[in-house]
Every structure is written in C-alpha cells, then in structure tokens.
Amino acid sequence: MILSVSGVTKAFGGTEVLKGIDLSIDKGDVVAILGPSGSGKTTLLRCMNFLETADSGRMEFAGSVYDMHSITKAEKATIRKRTGFVFQNFNLFRNKTALENVTEGLIVARKMPKAEAVDIAEATLEKVGMKGWASHYPSELSGGQQQRVAIARAIASDPEIVYFDEPTSALDPELAGEVLAVMRMLAEEGMTMVVVTHAMDFARNVSRHTVFMENDYVVEAGDTESFFSSPRMERTREFLNMEER
C-alpha cells in the first residue's frame, strides 16, 4: 500500500458531499472511481491532493500519517512534490509553451537545473506524443493535445501516484481516445493512478480496481473484473446497465 485515506468527510455550506470515505491504493495499482455527477468523486480526489481541505480524515502516504483537516502547508508541499494531478480542464499555464509547462514545476518548485529539466521535459513530451509541439502555446493546441501536455507536466517529476480528475470529460470522443491511449500506456508501465472518470471502457479495460460512488458514499469497491462481471450491489448493477445503454 502506498496511499490510503480513511474517514474522509467534507461538507460545502452544510451540504455533506463526502460521508466518511475509505480508500487504499497499492503501488502500481490503477483505480477507477465511477459514479453519477454529484456523487462526490471529484471532491474526494481534490481532498486527496488538498485542493479542498477535508473536514476530517486520515491519510497514510509513503509511511507517514497525516490529519487531512489540519495538514500544514509544509506537509502539503511535501506530498504534492511526490504526486501529480491532471485536471478536467487541463489548466495549462497559458503564458508558457508546452515545454515550459513541463519544466516550470521542475525548475521553480524543485530547483532542478534548467538543462536537466529541459531534457526530462522533452523526453516526457515525447512519451505522450507531443515532442513536435514543444514550442507551442496552449492556445495553439487542441484539447486532446493540451491534456497530453498536462499529463506530461504531471508525470515529469516521476511522482509516486498520479490523480486524474475526469481527464476526458471536456473532450470529444476522438480527442478523448488519444488521451486514454496515453493513460493506458502509463498504466501498463506500472504507474500508480487514481482516475475519476466517465469513460467506462477505460475503467473496464485498464483499471485494476474500480470504486463506485453515489450520494457521497462508496457503494461498492473491488477488483475491476468482478466489479463489472458480478457486481454485488443492486445499485451498482443499475448504474452499469444505465452506462451500457
């Protein structure tokens, strides 16, 4: 186990969106988190990288234990330097080229020498098929290309775990396909990934574990094959039938 959270709760203005979530992730695991809109899955992911502060919860990461509510800035920074995050809307730095988007965190946050950062960035962009676009600005790239650069930015620092928050939801199917292909490649290379997604094919064919969330709870979690072939909960079956159609 590389990361686990337990008892994560979060409310926005009195409305509970997470009601005590437990989740544990092994090294090299690929976990898909499924669920209808508003089920709290994005909030869970954001709490796990401290983009939202959970109201309570305990995190164990790489052997250390953290209180997710009262975590300090320094602790957040330590954890974030070992994780990567991919957003639904890419959130590339608009004033930086594709290459600079990848080098920025390495040079500024990690104090890596520029030449080394550029080497790593070029290799990472090549991996996601974007090397030829290194000098382009985000506004000159398609959505799928932007998301691939964003993935390169997230993985360039060789993180121990990468979070994906609905990485293909803002893309039309063709562009989503190129992003999913990159994610599948990373999964096959053994990268630890937690993916909030609506892409059922990805969940079914790439992830090892699947978590189904609804109404702020985890309804069912298990290994992907049995999750899809023989879901235990009635509500999971209904959801899967809906998605099949």
Note the residues at the interface with other proteins (CB under 8 A): 49, 51, 77, 80-81, 83-85, 87, 89, 91-96, 104-105, 108-110, 137-139, 150, 153-154, 157
CB of 25 to other proteins, least distance (A): 17
As a whole number of angstroms, the distance between CA 135 and CA 138 comes to 10
Torsion of CA 103, 108, 110, 114, to 10 degrees: 50
The residue (of 94 and 245) whose beta carbon lies closer to other proteins is: 94
The residue (of 164 and 212) whose beta carbon lies closer to other proteins is: 164
Provide the token pair at 154.
């997230």
CB of 136 to other proteins, least distance (A): 10
CB of 50 to other proteins, least distance (A): 8
What residues does 213 pair with on adjacent strands?
Answer: 218
CA 213 to mean position of chain CA atoms: 16
The residue (of 125 and 203) whose beta carbon lies closer to other proteins is: 125
The residue (of 112 and 211) whose beta carbon lies closer to other proteins is: 112
Report CA Rg, the chain. 18
How do beta strands 217-223 and 64-67 pair? unpaired
Give the 3-state secondary structure of residue 159: coil
CB of 132 to other proteins, least distance (A): 18
Q: How many CB atoms lie within 10 A of CB 230?
A: 10
The residue (of 137 and 217) whose beta carbon lies closer to other proteins is: 137
The residue (of 162 and 219) whose beta carbon lies closer to other proteins is: 162
CB of 73 to other proteins, least distance (A): 9
Q: How many CB atoms lie within 10 A of CB 32?
A: 25
Give the 3-state secondary structure of residue 216: coil
DSSP secondary structure code for residue 129 in this structure? T
CB of 85 to other proteins, least distance (A): 4
CA 148 to mean position of chain CA atoms: 13
